[in-house]
Every structure is written in C-alpha cells, then in structure tokens.
Chains A and B, each alone.
Chain A
C-alpha cells in the first residue's frame, strides 16, 4: 500500500466513449502526476500538477484532459481515444512540487490498465 489509490484498475472502452480515471493520494503530498506506460517503453510523463496548478503538459493529445480539483485528487478524462492509447496509466505523487529535490521520491498507484477497442 503506497498511499496512492487508482480506480478503475481495468477499463475497456470504445473509441467513441468518454471515461475518466481517478487517483487519490493520502500522503499529504503537494504534487501529482500522470504517467503512461506502454510495453517495452520507458514511462512517459503526461501531466504534472503542483499545488493544484498544472505545471507540465508533455505534448499530450487533447483527447486526454487532466483535472486536479484539490491536492489529493487527480483525474484523467478520456475522449475519442485510439487503440494505440491502450496502456497502463500510472498516477504518482511527491512531497515536493515540480522541483524534485535530492531526496524526492515518486509514490505510484497500482495503475489503471486501459484497453481501447
């Protein structure tokens, strides 16, 4: 148990569906992240929120829309996805903000396995 909870754990959706991934952290951290993990590729940073402000948007297609209503919750809204978007989506949090210090550690959730048909 890392203190970061993601739901749902598994999601299957069609290309015309709208769905959302949810992440909640119980660690009192200031920053939250969305990462995409595809097979045989390094984790790809998608979005970073620090103190509820988006500070990083890594050229992610607009069909992915993040939302951070408070420092404990993070959503990823999905709309008209493509089959190549199928991947494991990992949420993470850290104590510091965007500036990960010498001791900064990312605490990951269990991930949401997304399959786009």
Chain B
C-alpha cells in the first residue's frame, strides 16, 4: 500500500530561524513528489515539484530535496517569516494517483 509519512507532526520555531521538514514514502512506481503549503482555512498551494531525476528544487526561501534511492524528501525553509506558519503537505504520485501525507504544522513565533 502506498504511504507517505511526514515528520515532525508539528513544529514551533522563532522568526528568522531555519527549519527542515521530512517526508518518507513507499509509493511505487514513482512519478513525482510535490510539497504543498496550506494556510489555515485555505486550500493547499504547490511550492515545488520534483521528478525522479531531480534531487533539489528551490522556490525562494523554500528548498526541497529528493533522494529517490532512500525514498526520502525534505523541505528546508530559510530565514522563516510569520507568514510561513501553515501546514506543509508532501504529496507523492505514482503514474495515476497522488498519495498525501498528513502534513507538518509549522508555527513561526515573533
């Protein structure tokens, strides 16, 4: 059964600090991996996408990495801002269907 596990479940950091969120998956065959950001009360919005051949992708202060051999991905947030407070969802797709993780809830305190 395809699964996506994210850690930590929740995280609290101070504004300006860096943090890293983890995603482990067992989805096969692998097509792509996306990180979504979901603000409270809003729908998820795509941050990055990586295919099998890519091992890093940046979007501003967000950098995602992918190790297809160990089936792990991370999302690194640099110099966090209050607006980074949200849920971050890892989504791994096989050819047809995406599998969603439960998300990591990030709170950035001033």
Residues on A close to B: CB < 8 A?
2, 4, 6, 40-43, 45, 90, 92, 98-106, 108-111, 113
Q: Which of B43, B46, B89 contacts A109 (CB 8 A)?
A: B43
With CB as the reference atom, state the residue of chain A lying closest to B95.
Answer: A99
Question: Is the beta-carbon distance between A4 and B97 smaller than 8 angstroms?
Answer: no
Q: How large is the interface on B (under 10, 10 to 19, 20 to 34, 35 or more residues)?
A: 20 to 34
Question: Is the beta-carbon distance between B34 and A105 smaller than 8 angstroms?
Answer: yes
Contacts known (A2-B43, A4-B43); A42 close to B102, Cβ less than 8 A: yes
Contacts known (A40-B102, A42-B102); A2 close to B45, Cβ less than 8 A: yes
Q: Which of B32, B44, B96 contacts A98 (CB 8 A)?
A: B96
Question: Is the beta-carbon distance between B49 and A100 smaller than 8 angstroms?
Answer: no
Q: Is B51 an interface residue, CB under 8 A from the partner?
A: yes
Contacts known (A41-B102, A42-B102, A100-B93); A105 close to B46, Cβ less than 8 A: yes
Residues 72-110 of B at the A interface (beta carbon under 8 Å): 89, 93, 95-103
Question: Is the beta-carbon distance between B43 and A100 smaller than 8 angstroms?
Answer: no
- Taking A42-B4, A102-B32, A110-B42 as given, write out 15 further A-B residue pairs in contact, using a Cβ cutoff of 8 Å, ordered by the A residue number: A2-B43, A4-B43, A42-B100, A42-B101, A42-B102, A98-B96, A100-B31, A100-B95, A104-B93, A105-B46, A106-B44, A106-B46, A109-B43, A111-B42, A113-B41
Q: Within the complex, what minimum Cβ distance (angstroms) separates A69 from chain B? A: 22
Q: Which of A40, A99, A110 contacts B43 (CB 8 A)?
A: A110
Report, nearest first, the 3 A-B pairs whose CB atoms are least far apart.
Answer: A108-B43, A42-B100, A43-B100
With CB as the reference atom, state the residue of chain A lying closest to B39.
Answer: A110
Q: Within 8 Å CB of B97, what residues of A?
A: 45, 100
Q: Within 8 Å CB of A101, what residues of B?
A: 31
With CB as the reference atom, state the residue of chain B lying closest to A6.
Answer: B43
**CA A111 – CA B100 in complex, angstroms?**
17
Residues 11-57 of B at the A interface (beta carbon under 8 Å): 31-32, 34, 41-46, 49, 51
With CB as the reference atom, state the residue of chain B lying closest to A94.
Answer: B98
Contacts known (A40-B102, A42-B4, A42-B102); A108 close to B44, Cβ less than 8 A: yes
